[in-house]
Structure 1
């Protein structure tokens, strides 16, 4: 079955601007900005600004006409996972960055601030970047795309991530949607599918996967003719992106010739499972969702059969069960003359943080407890107890045996009395 990402003839709901911060954020933003279409005068629908300290990392990203790279001068070697350096580097250049926002994002309808949480530049800059974007024309038209680190990336990475999430959580009510990507989830799924692949291949996959996901949701709401009376249009999609809290995206493809609209077991369990697992992250409590929407696309020849009243009623029941408090939950159906199979996209907005954040907190606490423990250094203990044994061939120091007060001066090597012996440069080793 084909997917919407591979279709270059589809329209988009919103013109996105993507502001990438740090190596992770710039890589994702670059993938989004480099999405191409075959639509005249809309061949490059997205615009990117990439900001980083490390000059080498920024240079690795391919150049393109709709992407502006900006290196934070004075910090060419990077931030070294130091959040304070990342924040300072961004703040020192914010006037120039504000100019870039006005120049390159002047026609953008929504801006995503993107960073990989855990490093120095992106994690450090993200708070100041949000402030800058909001102050330069994008209040209520800005969201965050944040990646969560894997468990094995180290204590400093986890602590950096959680410290920034803590600040972001305190400001969530004033922010737009936050789209989390759980690298642990994507990494595990990729490892199961391609165990012999390299880390580089995984990183390339994950960056493209995030870009494809966002693009597919954006075109699903703008490209097809409605079947029936319900429609989830571009303005409603923008309202969801402006809803404070986390946003969860899900997708599933079903073969229309195997989907029996009268037999719930052929599709309901799969749709429920796709919502629970999500695309980029999972573990959400959907009961607290403020908004929900489903867009379903079927080939024109089978759309009337598939989208029966019973089928739509069952989908509505699923959404009601997942998010009873949502004030909006349209279930929209569309026909696609070039479609293959039934594509179902679900969006839930205004969610609390997922369980993965609690797991990261627990992992960080475990690692910090290990650091506080005294680790025994057996080799050092043995060295302190070491005493050289005299051999038969060694000259016997008669003076020391007889209790002479004479000792060697550490500075001259000459024997001196106890009253005039030299200063021992290793005296600190005698302190307890």
Structure 2
């Protein structure tokens, strides 16, 4: 069995419930099925002690509770930023110590909450000024469109800032929760929400690990190798990083008939694994790594096969000088896996959809605030009567306003009849 190796030692800087959940699963990824060694480390930071305690305890993952904010910040990004600032010295010491041997760090954050979204910009600033400049990027999850006005507003506020600062950041990997949710719905096997989110996080972790091993573990079949330095360059490049993966049975591929494989490869690139809707013509660089069953590699990787894949990439990312395709043989019986990575992209169009949804929610909220409250209006129109109405016989017989009002009588005792009993 092939001895698996990694190209880069990742560190995951997880923030808030969403960010720490992904980061801890990335730390839990083993090197391979035969090697249980966990090659990555994670620093898990949250303001909510209960959420932090729910995460599994791993030897290569460290939990940090933001002191003074153990009950959380209630989706308040201003409070989330303050929680960071109040604990900055502790966080800085931990980051410098814990990530000192890491080649590349992902700041992991679920956009929309309070802690991670609030602390995100400060976490970026911390890494940039603490010796990690040029060696970190962002791993961000977008909220679903039905998560409410507050969540969408929080996410969009941070995305606005990141868009302006994109040219100065490393790679941004966007995880679209709406896309993953819809894919999950299409699966036959039902799962609880917790199980589904766990599977999504494991999918992200596994994908990043696979890309990190393809560049170091396999022997090229051909003249080109997408190596560790090129992978690091893509992670260092600004803009969004789009990742696609396509797995095909080799028995279904006829190398002389591109229709048997190219349509599925094209769909994988357009749909992506984590998010979709990118304008791929904006790409700064791209690369394809194809890993096939070693027994079939030479037969599969003909000039015609590689040329078909490369031509598609050239048509999809036309502004690039080259579109490298690396081919490898490996121990994956009967299968071929195609990984496509495109860097330097703008945010996907799902961000625009979130903005439209947020604008509609704001409109509805404004409309609701201006709506007349019928109950309040009815109550406001009610005037309490100044005089209490009287229905006693004397008032009815002497209804002369000029007559002096009779002296009020003491209320009749309803039990007076008891005095007449002998």
Q: TM-score, normalization: structure 1? A: 0.86
CA 1:214–1:173: 2 relative to 1, 3 Å: same
Note the C-alpha offset of 1:246: 0.3
Deviations along 1:101-160, one digit per CA (max 9) or x if unpaired, are 121111100000010000000000000001101111211110000000001100010000
Cα contact 2:19–2:109 (8 A) shared by 1: yes
CA 1:255–1:81: 2 relative to 1, 3 Å: same
Count of matched residue pairs: 394
Gaps of 5+ in 1: 1-6, 405-432
Q: Distance in 2 between matches of 1:366 and 1:171?
A: 27
Does structure 1 residue 375 correspond to structure 2 residue 371?
Answer: yes
Q: 1:11 aligns with which of 5, 16, 19?
A: 5
Q: Distance in 1 between matches of 2:352 and 2:261?
A: 32
Q: Distance in 2 between matches of 1:40 and 1:198?
A: 30
CA 1:398–1:387: 2 relative to 1, 3 Å: farther
Does structure 1 residue 208 correspond to structure 2 residue 227?
Answer: no
Does structure 1 residue 160 correspond to structure 2 residue 154?
Answer: yes
Q: 2:108 aligns with which of 111, 114, 118?
A: 114
Instruction: Tell me which structure has the larger Cα radius of gyration.
Output: 2
Cα contact 1:8–1:38 (8 A) shared by 2: no
Note the C-alpha offset of 1:402: 7.5
CA 1:209–1:73: 2 relative to 1, 3 Å: same
Note the C-alpha offset of 1:305: 1.2
Note the C-alpha offset of 1:378: 3.5
What root-mean-square deviation, in Å, do the aligned CA atoms of Structure 1 and Structure 2 show? Answer: 2.4
Cα contact 1:19–1:49 (8 A) shared by 2: yes
Cα contact 2:13–2:107 (8 A) shared by 1: yes
Q: 1:104 aligns with which of 98, 101, 104?
A: 98
Gaps of 5+ in 2: 403-422
Higher mean alpha-carbon deviation, 95-104 vs 197-206, is at 197-206
Q: Distance in 1 between matches of 2:305 and 2:342?
A: 20
Q: 1:287 aligns with which of 272, 281, 293?
A: 281
Note the C-alpha offset of 1:222: 1.7
Write out aligned runs for 1:418-429 (5 A): none
Cα contact 1:221–1:234 (8 A) shared by 2: yes
Cα contact 2:27–2:42 (8 A) shared by 1: yes
Deviations along 1:237-289, one digit per CA (max 9) or x if unpaired, are 00000010000000001111120111011011111100000000000000010
Write out aligned runs for 1:16-415 (5 A): 16-37=10-31, 43-194=37-188, 196-373=190-367, 374-384=370-380, 395=391
Q: TM-score, normalization: structure 2? A: 0.88
Q: Distance in 2 between matches of 1:63 and 1:233?
A: 33
Q: Distance in 1 between matches of 2:116 and 2:391?
A: 66
Deviations along 1:156-213, one digit per CA (max 9) or x if unpaired, are 1000000001111111111100000000111111122258532222222222221122
Q: Distance in 1 between matches of 2:269 and 2:32?
A: 31
